A = this chain, B = another copy of it.
């Protein structure tokens, strides 16, 4: 039996007829190279935004089930058109909606989670020699209703299908040709990585290097799916994202990233009694707000200051929720700031190399950059600094860890 390759093409890769044809040819080439191919496709270009705008014309808060009914048409259009483009080349092909592709999810409309994949139909069509095109971003719940997986959900669809089909590799085609040691627009000598571990990629994805959806990387790590991040505009090898244990070499630091999409929230004079922090953060969590760094500073007396960061997208909702609990908890003042940004280093080798964090702080100090907040995990160090210092910081860190040079083995 030929091995299976799952490919995922984003909205910009299928935005018009010419691009659809290019994708069709690449899929056919992959098949002719001796693979069975399953392609996961997103909605064309700005389709999703256009559909959202239509909904907003009718209602500011449309029922989420109906929003998913609406949004899922975007991918359905893509898969039909791509199947037509492939059929036009004389290749047997079939398109499948998320439901037909067996993508079973929970009922959290607009941000559903994949519970299981039941790829009976996909396998049947592959066995008949067809190229199979599956709608990304969408699934079906137990009631037979259409759900969507949230922004970037097509990555998750691809990884889940790759796991269920035991595919050799899940290729994610994007408009960049791989994962870099830093953003090449910022750091001219940034280097493309040949490989990176799931764990490192997950940190990068969460830290603002939006090449892959974090949830997709999470699933890939859990199910041992190797992801090949590569360009839809070239045949060059991209970056392979694979299991930590499969990495040929461990780098101390794999990359440096920045995240400009940060809002600092400062709760001033929070009563220092048990349960207050829980009340605040569970309120935010219930609405799906991701709180990133959290710092609590002790003051004199029965109050503390509580500082945390959120993403800019969650600002309005966070403000509303905090306003709601502020009175009740007796918080005297709340300050918001979007003048800060986050710079981070990620590297699996960090764990066994003490002093990496210290080196980073040193670089920042040498460049006269003040650190407002620090947050660390086993494989990353993040610092909140002033936005206008970010470029200097990224370049200086990149230089100090010699990321532009060949790999430093731990």
Contacts and interface: CB of A to CB of B under 8 A. Distances in A.
A77 interface: yes
Chain A contact surface mostly? helix
A51 interface: yes
A59 B77 contact: no
A396 interface: no
A58 B81 contact: yes
A77 B51 contact: yes
A144 interface: yes
Contacts of A57: 17
A67 interface: yes
Interface residues of A, number: 37
Report the copy number of this chain in the oligomer: 2
A100 B144 contact: yes
A20 interface: yes
B100 A84 contact: no
Interface string A1-43: 0000000000000000100110000000000000000000000
B66 A70 contact: no
B80 A69 contact: yes
Contact of A76 (B63, B69, B87): B69
A62 interface: yes
A381 interface: no
A79 interface: yes
A73 interface: yes
Nearest to A124: B143
A95 interface: yes
Contact of A59 (B88, B94, B144): B88
Contact of A58 (B17, B73, B94, B146): B17
Contacts of A145: 100
A215 interface: no
Contacts of A121: 144
A9 to B, nearest CB: 15
A63 B84 contact: yes
Nearest to A74: B73
A55 interface: yes
Interface of A: 17, 20-21, 51, 54-55, 57-59, 62-63, 65-67, 69-70, 72-73, 76-77, 79-81, 83-85, 87-88, 93-95, 97, 100, 121, 144-146
7 closest cross-chain pairs (CB), A and B = A70-B80, A73-B73, A69-B80, A62-B84, A59-B88, A66-B83, A58-B84
7 contacts: A21-B58, A54-B77, A62-B88, A66-B95, A70-B76, A73-B76, A76-B76
